[in-house]
């Protein structure tokens, strides 16, 4: 039996950015910080992004500048619900 994790986000409308961090690792992260990870090569970062966004390569953006994985970001709707 092979176990796998389902995609983190069912909506395929969120942009996933990929790029390298200052240590040369590849980063893939959803624009609102809902999911992301570090990868040893570009192919694995793209494969992860495609899996998570429902196989939509048109909403993957590769950055030329450095990008750091930020797992402490919160979505706008989550922040708004906690302010009240």
pLDDT tens digits along 19-48: 999 999 999 999 988 999 999 999 999 999
Identify the band that residue 14 occupies on the pLDDT scale cut at 50, 70 and 90.
confident
Collapsed DSSP state (helix, strand, coil) of residue 60: strand
Structure tokens at 37: 């990870």
Q: Is the pLDDT of residue 76 over 90?
A: no
Residues sharing a CB contact under 8 Å with residue 75, sequence separation 6 or more, in sequence order: 32, 33, 34
Identify the band that residue 72 occupies on the pLDDT scale cut at 50, 70 and 90.
confident
More confident residue, 8 or 48: 48
Say if pTM beats, i.e. exceeds, 0.85: no
DSSP character for 80? H
């Amino acid at each position: 039996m092979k176990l796998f994790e389902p995609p983190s986000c069912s909506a395929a409308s969120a942009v996933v950015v990929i790029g390298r961090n200052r240590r040369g690792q590849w980063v893939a992260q959803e624009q609102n910080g809902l999911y992301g990870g570090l990868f040893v090569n570009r192919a694995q970062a793209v494969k992860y992004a495609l899996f998570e966004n429902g196989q939509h390569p048109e909403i993957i953006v590769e950055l030329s500048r450095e990008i750091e994985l930020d797992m402490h970001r919160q979505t706008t709707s989550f922040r708004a619900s906690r302010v009240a």
